[in-house]
Amino acid sequence: MRARLVLILVALIVISGCAGYDRVVLLPDKNLRSSALVVNSAQGEAVLDQPYKAADVYSTGRIETKELDPEAVNRQFGAALSAQPPRPTSFILYFIEGTNELTPESLPMLEQIKSELKQRAFPEIVIIGHTDSLGSPDYNDALSLSRAEAIRKIVQQAGISALSIDVAGRGSREKLIQTKEGVSEPLNRRVEISVR
Amino acid sequence: MKKLVFFISLALIFVLPALAAEEAGLIKVSRGMVSIERSGQKTAASAGMTVFVGDKIITGDDGSVGITLKDNTLLSAGPLSTIVLNQFAFNSSTLTGAIEASIKRGTLSVVSGKIAKNSPDAVKFHTPAAILGLRGTEFVIDAGSGEEK
């Protein structure tokens, strides 16, 4: 058994050592943010500012830049890329004024959110409630928390085995739409669900 | 001699909690042989396990692993890879912090998260031959010059 292990390790050195350089490839940003990588070595610097631009950095510090295509990236990095966890995402649900009841428009979204949450392994969920600026700060703190708790209950009853569910109410401090005090604003009466 | 041992033990009791590593993220995907080396101890890693600052994540020849950090950074490694999370700090109120990770060998894919967006200068990835800085980025690394250590 021990001999076999040693053999495998020797093979690894050959496999990983044979390339002799580190390769870095910039990928297209799925959220369409503009992105760039700065690659520094003992001998210089290269900037990767286009998708599929690659830098090969040798142990001497020499950097070679080149253009790869998606197929080449998949051949080399397919296993790493396919192990990527699902992207963190978030949802917003809206509420009827002064209540912790969802608006008729938001109700159907629940099913979509539940099925999205069910697809994830060990999801970590954060549920944050908000209000519009009608009412006192104390009232809004309580209402925002009660909205978040209502959604927590729904998520728990849906049989989603979340690793953690954090719940908080922020009152009207974090308005989606900026308003003066005492303004009824449907878009501010909401719960944000973030999952990662 | 006994006294010395006593004082060293006492010192450790006070120092160790301060050294207790911070939670950095969670293993979401684990296939084949994956292990974590933490304070010199190597244990098999599975999905649902917490990743701490200082952890070394190692995949076998059939292994791959996917990790979601608390700032939504996604790290995933292919077979025969060794990744060390040297540093991770994240303030969930200001959405700023710092990440430093090293890929000793193998392949790593990175989808940057909130820290890269808000404090890009505090995000560094090391390969055996290079240091990468980023600006809101998805990328992959093959540490081809690395050796098994």
Tens of pLDDT along chain A (196 residues) come to 232 222 222 222 233 444 689 999 998 877 656 678 899 999 999 999 888 999 999 989 999 999 999 999 999 999 999 999 999 999 999 999 999 999 999 999 999 999 999 999 999 999 999 999 999 999 999 999 999 999 999 999 998 888 899 999 999 999 999 999 999 999 999 999 999 9
Q: What is the ipTM of this complex?
A: 0.82
Q: Is the dihedral of CA B63, B99, B129, A64 positive or negative?
A: positive
* Domain residue spans of chain B: 22-143
Number of domains in chain A: 2
A34 to chain B, any CB pair closer than 8 A? The answer is yes
Residues 13-72, chain B: which have Cβ within 8 Å of A? 26, 28-29, 31, 47-48, 61, 64-68, 70, 72
Which candidate, B142, B141, B124, B146, places its Cα nearest to that of B133? B124
The identity of residue A15, as a single letter, is I
Q: CATH code at A184? A: 3.30.1330.60
Q: State how far the alpha carbon of A114 is from the alpha carbons of A91, A96, A126, A163, in Å.
A: 11, 21, 14, 15
Q: Is residue A4 included in any domain, yes or no? A: no
Tell me what percent of the residues of chain B surpass a pLDDT of 90: 65
Q: Is residue A10 included in any domain, yes or no? A: no
Question: How would you write B51-77 as a 3-class SS string?
Answer: EECCCEEEECCCCEEEEEECCCCEEEE
**CB-CB: which of A22, A25, A76 is closest to B145?**
A22
Same domain? A96 vs A168: yes
The identity of residue A189, as a single letter, is R
Helix, strand, or coil (residue B48): coil
Q: Rounded CA gap, B50 and A55, in Å? A: 32
Lookup result for tokens 């791959």: B64
The third-level CATH classification (topology) of the domain covering B22-143 is Jelly Rolls (2.60.120)
Same domain? A49 vs A111: no
